[in-house]
Chains A and B, each alone.
Chain A
Amino acid sequence: MALFMKVQASSLIAGLRRGRPVSGRRALVTMGKVELKAPPYPLDALEPHMSKRTLELHWGKHHRAHVDNLNKQIEGTPLAGKSLEEIFLNIYRGGAYRNNIPVFHNAAQAWNHTFFWESMKPNGGGAPTGMLAEAIARDFRGFDNFKAYFRHAGMNQFGSGWAWLNTNESGKLMIFNTPDAMNPLVETKLRPILTVDVWEHAYYIDFQNRREDYLNTFIEKLIDWDVVAKRYAAAQQ
């Protein structure tokens, strides 16, 4: 089996530097293994809104375990060397889902978490501008309504899961939540442009049971609207 390297050197280096957000779409794949991509900021950079302790556990243990376990699962199989998207879409659509649920979970969660880190930045929040702002105003009848709908989606995901802002290729925006490891790429043609993790591990250290406070903090203080806008623009090409 041919092993092929898809290391994107520029994003590897950028991912290790603070500040500059990197494109979340492609995972790092070296020698058939998926790599754990670092968030585009130091683990304490989101304080006080998301603690260093949370990042250490959430990225350093949970996200890392998905990547490590996935690599063990795919070693020596045709999935080795593929990107995360290829792996989880392949499993879900290939009819092999039932027999490969743990692999699906790890691949999807590895992807979801990278997408999540890259949806945030230090001193984030505020409001979107430009075309994205117009689309939000149009599709949700105003930014305040968008915030309420997004928070609602996060609150309404019973148990573990994610809330997503998505676009179709015409630029129409839609919000919904997914359970557990599911993401919009799996069952829809929509492109996600923003996500928030509502598994309890995402907020329990900082907020305990208060998921609503966590969601409000995410919305007001953490969202990287520049990244979201770039993803929005890219989805319409």
Chain B
Amino acid sequence: MAFELPPLPYEYGTLEPHVDSMTMQIHHTKHHQAYVNNLNAALDKFPELKDLGLVDINKAVGTDKLPTEAATVIRNNGGGHYNHTFFWKVMTNPSNTNGPSGAAKEAIEAAFGSVDEMKTKFNAAAAGRFGSGWAWLGVKSDGSLAITSTPNQDNPLMSGLPDAAAMVPILGLDVWEHAYYLKYQNRRPEYIAAWWNVVNWEQVSANYEAAKAGTVPL
């Protein structure tokens, strides 16, 4: 069974003015679609990998489960498909978003001192990622929360990544230029600051519960 581009949980213009409609449209229908297409093409030659599912494909990156000749294309496009599928869901209408609550909020305060301190660290990871990549808030194997960033379409599910903490993501931010260039151009910190307005904290809580239960949210 081939992977498919998931529909957005909202309209292209829903995240305005923080993330513009044109960016959402190109980001979803062009960039994410290309990752899906390329992943399917790569897996055509290795049908047994398709049965793994998207999360396990990502976990297999960096291990010998992936054939050498397809390892890079699967990393780039399997990563891209997971990352973007995850990303659309952790955003929502700006009027919906209040802030973290419940167990997720307690975990954030335990790890960082406060929600604001978590945001400061997250902003630094997002702004400091040179080139293309992502910033992540996730649950480590010891159950605590941490922040990391990854290059290109890598994510913390993958094995053997240099410098990235292994974790199950509960919140992530795309800092490839295609995620913000039309509206923010070179002003990445402004994009990052605006993005907090559209974070879907209910989804983050659900992701946190799933991660604590030992599953990977998608």
Contacts and interface: CB of A to CB of B under 8 A. Distances in A.
A127 interface: no
A107 B125 CA distance: 22
B185 A61 contact: yes
A173 to B, nearest CB: 26
B126 to A, nearest CB: 15
Nearest to A109: B130
Contacts of B181: 200-201, 204-205
A204 B131 contact: no
Interface string B55-98: 00000000000000000100010000000000000000000000
A57 interface: yes
A65 B127 CA distance: 14
Q: How large is the interface on A (under 10, 10 to 19, 20 to 34, 35 or more residues)?
A: 20 to 34
A158 B76 contact: yes
B152 A181 contact: no
B185 A57 contact: yes
Contacts of A65: 186
B26 A208 contact: yes
Interface in B116-171: 130-133, 151-153
B131 A180 contact: yes
Contacts of B52: none
B182 to A, nearest CB: 7
A209 B131 contact: no
A48 interface: no
Interface residues of B, number: 20
Interface in B169-183: 176-178, 181-182
A176 interface: no
Contact of A159 (B26, B31, B152, B186): B152
B151 A200 contact: no
Nearest to A180: B131
B176 A159 contact: yes
A146 interface: no
A105 B178 contact: no
A197 B1 CA distance: 37
A158 B131 CA distance: 11
Report which residue of B31, B177, B182 has the largest number of chain A beta carbons within 10 angstroms of its beta carbon. B177
A179 interface: yes
Given A57-B186, A62-B186, A209-B26, A200 B178 contact: yes
Interface string A181-220: 1000000000000000001110011001100000000000
B132 A200 contact: yes
A204 B182 contact: yes
Contact of A61 (B30, B182, B186): B186
Contacts of A205: 181-182
A53 to B, nearest CB: 9
Contacts of B130: 101-102, 105, 180-181
A51 interface: no
A201 B151 CA distance: 17
15 contacts: A65-B186, A159-B132, A159-B152, A159-B176, A160-B131, A179-B131, A200-B176, A200-B181, A201-B177, A201-B181, A204-B181, A204-B182, A205-B181, A208-B178, A209-B178
Given A159-B131, A179-B131, 15 more contacts: A57-B186, A61-B186, A158-B152, A159-B151, A159-B152, A180-B130, A181-B130, A199-B177, A200-B181, A201-B181, A208-B30, A208-B178, A209-B26, A209-B30, A209-B34
Interface of B: 26, 30-31, 34, 72, 76, 130-133, 151-153, 176-178, 181-182, 185-186
